[in-house]
A and B are shown apart, each in its own frame.
Chain A
């Protein structure tokens, strides 16, 4: 393994992010090739976390753009601060400066509200990490706009001119696959698919993130969640759910799983009524031991 990749993996582990070679390699390549990294995977497998950890490792700032349907260029890029401009005009009204000078004044950077994309481009100091979260939630129009920005990291603001990134930010895009992203966007990015972790890896994650957890409890929790992932559920619990649940159990001073405890805390990892019923039925059938043993 290349030394740099190893270093990235160690640095990420050092930040409490349990990872593997494929993640470290993708991050390394994204940095050396200067291409955005598109991370896909089921909800709750730690996609967003990659960007956060990357920012810490690079000692840069994290700039986050949360996508949603209807997100448009003004919310993502920039907006003039109109109220402030108006106020400024009023205050200057009696001055004898020329109109051109006044205009240049109010369309200067002071009156520019930088939204995440512009903030990432104009960022000074160490290049930041730009996280474009859940890009699958934005619509196709926004995706096209994003392509433009990501291809040359420059933006033209009519009143100011073209703003170019001094240092290209590292870009991480995440997608839950609510819809298929365009081939054009995919082509622009390196690709990383994060699957649910193996039992051992998840156990490591739980131990790392919840240091005080009882060893037996950690093993039973991960095994139980793994059994659930093999069942047909509407909302399959991710790693985030394992962690939530383990955290809750630790708060309840549990050292192992018992039926009552599981029933009381089902809501930590099951977010669908139908799923609750399915799993309760399995508990009724006395399957707790089978579900929470790792040799299933």
Chain B
């Protein structure tokens, strides 16, 4: 393969070539670095590029692999970190003025697992401020752009992770997901896969919190297989994360080629047809996806969950209350150091009472039980992700209007695993996506369903038209 196209290799492909010593980790990294040199000035996906350091790590990996073989499939593979994940000896800024000097002493638990597996870290990636604000221009770093249309936002809050992976500047990146922040860029940046695993499956230690009982660590990759490979490394019990689940290790790639025959899929149509109405393009893409699943052998039927509006509101009350507890002192002493969008979104949390929070947590239990009951009748839920294509990045009224028009937050509230994949193109050539949701710890089943959809469709092969947007 020509050096100029090595960035197109998936982790699965690159790893195989590295193991056979047909590809060096340094060459693979260089391909991404060259691409980033061309695209990053337009995309702003990085808050802190670390290519030189990554190159040294890649060369060390190469020497070790020559000497004793690869440690894992991630040995020598570059992986980006949303800038709320600690990377030892580098600042974790959360894309905020408030934490510009916040140098991490240690790696986050997930960073440490990747490092132990041999991954290299080419940089920290843009996020909405504190994984919560919107794409803002009054912050120390510019907001990441959508590689499909540089005038639009890339989804968030894992905005840099989505933009970098979709633009082939990295093969994978970590993100966090408290109300949909991994799955949103998976929708908006298209052609990529975003997994929010079951609550507790991946440690959050060393990741700056947004809302303790809703925060998940997830990943963005270009293929379903790569995502499963990453989760194989990331999953596992961490006694220092109070939410961490103590479960035996599993191979999330084991069922990838299992197909859809006989799989029971519940289509949560009322979310986007009744509770909130999706754009015609989004609705059509979901109907088409349901037909693909049925054609490939799944048994697809409509199912009913609690109202998306109530699920989203309960998520919001819990999120804002918990976030306010994290930010209380800065909101009191340094309110002007936040982006105005972050501040505006945070303040309602200060107006909620302890009673509001507890009532939402009581209702939460009922809502989770209702979702779990449906997931005893079907194996997988087919659910909308965003209801609209991403708008212009500087159109604040439209950003505000569409902020809550998404169907991802219910599964932060419930903790169920949810996987975002591409399922179409809008009439204005922007990517569209869907979610697959399963019972707790059914990630391998979600990967199996998504992989079958990947085989049956061509959406995952589409790439943003970057040669037109950012010519060489």
A and B form one complex:
no
The residues of A with any CB-CB pair to B shorter than 8 Å are none
The residues of B with any CB-CB pair to A shorter than 8 Å are none
